[in-house]
Amino acid sequence: MKKLVSNITSRDVDFSKWYTDVVREANLVAYSNVKGSMIICPYGYAIWENMQKLLDKEFKKSGHENVQMPMFIPESLLNVEKNHVKGFAPEVAWVTYGGNEKLEERMCVRPTSETLFCEYYKNIIKSYRDLPKLYNQWCTIVRWEKTTRPFLRSREILWQEGHTMHATSEDARNETLRILKIYEDFQRNILALPVIVGKKTESEKFAGAEETYTLEAMMYDGVALQNGTSHYFGDHFAKAFGIQFLDESNNLQTPYQTSWGVTTRMIGAIIMTHGDDHGLVLPPNIAPIKVIFVPINNDDKVKETISKIANELTEDITYKVDNSDKTPGFKFAEAEVKGIPIRIEVGLRDLETNEVTLVRRDTLEKIKVKIDEVVEKIPVLLKEIQNNLYNRAMERRDSKIFDVNSYDEMKELIKDKTGFVKVNWCGDAACEEKIKDDTGYKSRCIIEGEEPTGKCIICNKDAKCRIYVGKQY
């Protein structure tokens, strides 16, 4: 298939350059003089808005309310939970001056908001009647990353972070898994990402958490992208902050906490999973524009036909008519690079046969459809595209999952292949660390429901579980 956009490097030649080219050509982000941060352009932000809208609806359906916490955290407040602050220390940005005056106590720009929520919860939770507290916020955070890439790693990150408090450990654990399921359904059904879901190892869990669950997406090049996490905190933070409540027997108890979040990194995951050498490919369920009409001729009959079809589309099928004075070929290229699921070409020659041409973005297949059948055909085609993108990503993911029984076998395998490697592991962090130091492959998650098939691939002791290891963005 001839490329309409020549400025995009082939993903099989240089995947990193391909990614940057797609982000630029699709006009998702722009660079600024603020080093390490990005400008999210309208089209990129429209994708994020759709993510926000759909996830926010699910959060509210499950009883969560949105709040807004301060951007700044005093150092003394951040230091209340030592393990937590230790995990973030290298990435914290500090404010030391307000105007021309040095602050009595420096403040960090929030890297995450556990401490802020805990301070607030201490003041509002007094009784079992106050629980559970199910809060979420949509905001930005700052982490001083050394190496940044659009959507994947940035110093300023758009995300949502949920923070909840519960009367019992069981309730908090259920909440952790309930949110994990919401994330999984969203990424599979909306983003068409066949994520692998599992529990992080002790070494890889979130700082201050008892348990961390992760959604691991595999990119086209076989590299992992952690695409969301849900954490069970137990009562560590609550005890550190002195949060207590009176139970039904009038006894003081300590509540249990969860935290969970996803970011604009999900946009990066869509690009690197579904994109091709022509540009972005958006799953219809998240695409800001699902259909684009491209008139081939500036003729009243063409305009009338487009208007007739567009007016009959249901409200959920968003569309755009490209009435610019660009050439049809340029319009086709622009639609392709932006990943719009369906392109409808309408010209006088088509109208002579009472047809229009529908072009699928996922396959670039051209389909002739009778004008009276277009409105009925579009939702069917959108569903086909959504399913095809998921199945295609699943097939590629599965082709890049490897099973090894020895360390030598693993090292030989990854010389010329990337992907997720299943290994037997004894549970010792030293063995996990050795894999990372030797190969650059980190544990992604514990494989649930799979018993070890042999000894630990590092120390040859009895394996306690199986884990996925892989490179990560």
**Whether 266 and 297 share a structural domain:** no
Give residue 350's pLDDT. Answer: 87
Per-residue pLDDT tens for 54-75?
Answer: 999 999 999 999 999 999 999 9
- The span from the CA of 343 to the CA of 323, in Å, is 14
In a domain, 390, yes or no: no
- The span from the CA of 195 to the CA of 413, in Å, is 23
**Whether 230 and 324 share a structural domain:** no
Give residue 278's pLDDT. Answer: 96
Secondary structure (DSSP) of 267-281: HHHHHHHH-BTTB--
**Whether 199 and 263 share a structural domain:** yes
- Over its C-alpha atoms, the chain yields an Rg (Å, rounded) of 25
**Whether 405 and 453 share a structural domain:** yes
In a domain, 282, yes or no: no
In a domain, 89, yes or no: no
In a domain, 147, yes or no: yes
**Whether 218 and 336 share a structural domain:** no
CA distances from 437 to 220, 405, 441 (A): 24, 19, 8
Per-residue pLDDT tens for 9-20?
Answer: 999 999 999 999
Written as six digits, the tokens of 177 are: 């898994």
Q: Is 82 exposed, middle or buried (0-12, 13-18, 19+ CB in 10 A)?
A: exposed
**Whether 362 and 441 share a structural domain:** no
Domain containing 409 — which CATH number? 3.30.110.30
Vertex 188 angle, CA 374 and 230, to 5°: 145
Phi-psi region of 242 (alpha: psi -120 to 50; beta: other; left: phi over 0): left
Give residue 84's pLDDT. Answer: 67
Domain edge (last residue) among 274, 306, 324: 274
Query: 432 is in which domain, residue-wise?
Result: 401-470
In this structure, the dihedral spanned by the alpha carbons of residues 234, 238, 243 and 245, taken in order and rounded to 10 degrees, is 0
**Whether 34 and 180 share a structural domain:** yes
Domain edge (last residue) among 216, 248, 274: 274
Give residue 2's pLDDT. Answer: 58
In a domain, 378, yes or no: yes
**Whether 254 and 331 share a structural domain:** no
The H or E element that residue 125 is part of is none
Domain containing 381 — which CATH number? 3.40.50.800
Give residue 68's pLDDT. Answer: 98
Identify the three-state secondary structure at position 372. Answer: helix
**Whether 432 and 465 share a structural domain:** yes
Q: Residues 418, 411: contact at Cβ < 8 Å?
A: no
| Overall number of domains in the chain | 3
**Whether 330 and 429 share a structural domain:** no
**Whether 253 and 132 share a structural domain:** yes
In a domain, 250, yes or no: yes
Q: Residues 444, 217: contact at Cβ < 8 Å?
A: no
In a domain, 269, yes or no: yes
**Whether 429 and 405 share a structural domain:** yes
In a domain, 316, yes or no: yes
Domain containing 180 — which CATH number? 3.30.930.10
Domain edge (last residue) among 336, 356, 385: 385
Q: Would you give per-residue pLDDT tens digits along the chain (473 residues)? A: 555 566 899 999 999 999 999 999 999 999 889 988 999 999 999 999 999 999 999 999 999 999 999 999 999 998 887 766 676 778 899 999 999 999 999 999 999 999 999 999 999 999 999 999 999 999 999 999 888 899 999 999 999 999 999 999 999 999 999 999 999 999 999 999 999 999 999 999 998 899 999 999 999 999 999 999 999 999 999 999 999 999 999 999 999 999 999 999 999 999 999 999 999 999 999 999 999 999 998 899 999 999 999 999 999 999 999 999 999 999 999 999 999 999 999 999 989 999 999 999 999 999 999 999 999 999 999 999 999 999 999 999 999 999 999 999 999 999 999 999 999 999 999 999 999 999 999 999 999 999 998 899 999 999 999 999 999 99
